[in-house]
């Protein structure tokens, strides 16, 4: 585990299973139809049970790329799931803005719902094809900037499933620490 302190808040990098996190909320790498899917999205829906999808269908008609919506956590340890829609990587200059916005909107939902801890996956780096090296820096920079003005969020944990992604995020966080 690697950490970076931002005022009274902590950004943490761990390798593990996001569905097992004990944070108040977990982030989900959702699709814009909020229809469930594979990867992190599928794992969260399987572990959390059908109440998450039921709530999504009842409350939302989709979610635009770069935004996020919130539901209860169903059978998860986390009380909430924040479903963030990252971009499908296209090499466009919009990609970075949309990815940053997906994280920022998720954090804004944390602030609105008085959630002080969240675990995020690496959004858009699976089937959406975003290069992990670039995505990790965008994610970490966005979170760090948000935490500077939002001390109510005490912990943002990035939970990376495989060793390669964990190492990339760990290196990016260490690089940020040297720069700050």
Task: Give every strand in the sheet of 9-15, ordered side by side.
Answer: 2-6, 9-15, 155-160, 117-120, 25-29, 80-84, 68-72
Contact 11, 159 (CB under 8 A): no
User: Cβ contacts of residue 172 below 8 Å, gap of 6+?
Assistant: 133, 136, 137, 140
Can 141 be counted among the known catalytic residues?
Answer: no
Q: Which of 41, 54, 95, 162 is catalytic?
A: 41
Q: Which residues contact 39 (CB under 8 A, 6 or more apart)?
A: 29, 126, 127
**Residue 149 and residue 129: Cα distance in Å, rounded?**
31
Token couple for 15: 């390798």
Catalytic residue ranges: 41
């Amino acid at each position: 585990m690697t950490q970076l302190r931002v005022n009274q808040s902590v950004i943490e990098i761990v390798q593990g299973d996001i569905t097992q996190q004990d944070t108040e909320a977990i982030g989900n790498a959702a699709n814009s139809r909020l229809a469930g899917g594979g990867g992190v999205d599928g794992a969260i829906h399987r572990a959390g049970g059908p109440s998450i999808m039921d709530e999504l269908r009842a409350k939302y008609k989709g979610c635009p790329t770069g935004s996020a919506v919130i539901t209860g956590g169903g059978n998860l340890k986390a009380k909430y799931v924040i479903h963030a829609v990252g971009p499908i990587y296209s090499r466009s200059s919009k990609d970075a803005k949309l990815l940053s916005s997906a994280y920022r909107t998720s954090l804004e939902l944390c602030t609105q719902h008085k959630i002080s801890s969240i675990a995020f996956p690496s959004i858009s780096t699976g089937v959406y094809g975003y290069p992990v090296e670039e995505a990790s820096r965008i994610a970490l920079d966005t979170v760090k900037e948000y935490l500077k003005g939002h001390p109510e969020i005490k912990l943002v944990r990035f939970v990376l499933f495989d060793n390669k992604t964990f190492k990339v995020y760990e290196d990016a966080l260490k690089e940020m620490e040297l720069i700050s």
